[in-house]
Structure 1
Amino acid sequence: MKTQFAALIALLATPSLALAHPGHEHHSFSSGLVHPVTGVDHLIMLIAFGLLIGCVAVVNKQKIALMSGGIASLMLGLFAGQWFGFSTIVEPAIIASLFVVSLGLWQAFSPSTTRVNMALAASIAMLFFHGYAHGVEATGSVSQFAVGMLISATVLMVAGSAAGQLVRSKWLSVGVASASVLLLLAS
């Protein structure tokens, strides 16, 4: 068990996953639109967060509120990253976010509403770091990039939510965690 924990820590310390995909060159609308799709870390997180929403939220009002919270966290991170600059915790936090949302999917079927709400809150909070990474790299205004990223992120969350509503299984968490491990191994 100690060896597995050490391996996990080593993986969390791997450098520059968020910089390992296109879309960092320009902060245009089209870059923002494409970036969440070309960055596998972002793709996994946004679809998995949508899956989580689809598994827990029954009413469309709840889904919209949760997605809005996720988008707000992502955008807040984008502007915070531009304002505060580089931080060593961002890359490990992005990697950790993939496992947080995976754990959230597992907890989505818990009879404890406290656990479900904590999983949702933690996943929303972790989206902050996905935005922060791009804010750090931004040169000048990121408003057009933000609009493009907002559109793509919303589409990915809606797609994930629809899939989560259809499948509704805690085993989705295993799929998300497996995809995350493959991403780490491939980088």
Structure 2
Amino acid sequence: MKALKNISSLAVAALVLPVSAHAHPGHDHASFFNGLVHPITGVDHLIMLLAFGALAFFAARKTATQLSLVAAALVAMVTGTIAGLNIGAISGIEGAIAASLLVVSAALWQVLTASKPVKSMAVALCVALIFCHGYAHGVEASGNVWLFAVAMAISASALMLLGNRLAAFASSRWVSAGVASASLVYLLVA
């Protein structure tokens, strides 16, 4: 329960940070190529997707379960994009994107020693926060959104799978320290 409290505290702290972690206005949301490169050039997405792939590795040692977690994150991202297109801007989405970076860091820190219910809750929270990344893109979308979304899903899949494979070589709680450091630098500069 203490692990869940720590993750929740980080999420609340990130929500009150004065950060603009939007889906990078100025990026074109209308082409396949831009959808492919956006998760790589959007630093918040890059950090979150690589870290979530690592989290999936540490949370579930079976490859099939890891792939199911990656698929759940992709479904959340695409669902978020569709919701953003149809609902429009809501307050707090940028704070949730910022929180996602700190929450995934805390989840990585806890996942190697946490109980199964805490692991499940941390992974579910990260999947929900990936929804927010997609939502922001849906709100800002223009042009051929579906082409952009399909390409973004392909790139996001590749990044999560890369994070998953990298975690196999670095089975340590200190992976979370690297993710947290990269996240804080990004949040301070953004």
- Tell me the TM-score normalized by structure 2: 0.88
- What residue in structure 2 maps to residue 18 of structure 1? 22
Q: Distance in 2 between matches of 1:116 and 1:10?
A: 22
Q: Does residue 1:151 correspond to 2:154, yes or no?
A: yes
- What residue in structure 2 maps to residue 122 of structure 1? 125
Superposition deviation, residue 71 in structure 1: 0.2
Q: Distance in 1 between matches of 2:138 and 2:153?
A: 14
- How many pairs were matched up? 179
Alpha-carbon distance change, 135 to 21 in structure 1, aligned in 2, over 3 angstroms:
closer
One-letter amino acid of the structure 2 residue matched with residue 56 of structure 1: A
SS at match of 2:91: coil
- What residue in structure 2 maps to residue 163 of structure 1? 166
- Tell me the TM-score normalized by structure 1: 0.89
Q: Does residue 1:186 correspond to 2:189, yes or no?
A: yes
Superposition deviation, residue 21 in structure 1: 6.6
Check conservation: 1:54, 1:163, Cα contact below 8 A.
no
CA RMSD of aligned residues (A): 1.8
Residue identity (%): 44
Superposition deviation, residue 111 in structure 1: 4.3
Structure 1 runs (4+) deviating above 3 angstroms are: 8-11, 19-22
Structure 2 gaps, min length 5: 1-9
In the TM superposition, what are the counterparts of 1:16-165 in structure 2 within 5 Å? 17-20=21-24, 24-165=27-168
One-letter amino acid of the structure 2 residue matched with residue 108 of structure 1: V
Check conservation: 2:15, 2:92, Cα contact below 8 A.
no
- What residue in structure 1 maps to residue 7 of structure 2? none
Structure 1 gaps, min length 5: none
Q: Distance in 1 between matches of 2:28 and 2:110?
A: 38
Alpha-carbon distance change, 151 to 10 in structure 1, aligned in 2, over 3 angstroms:
closer
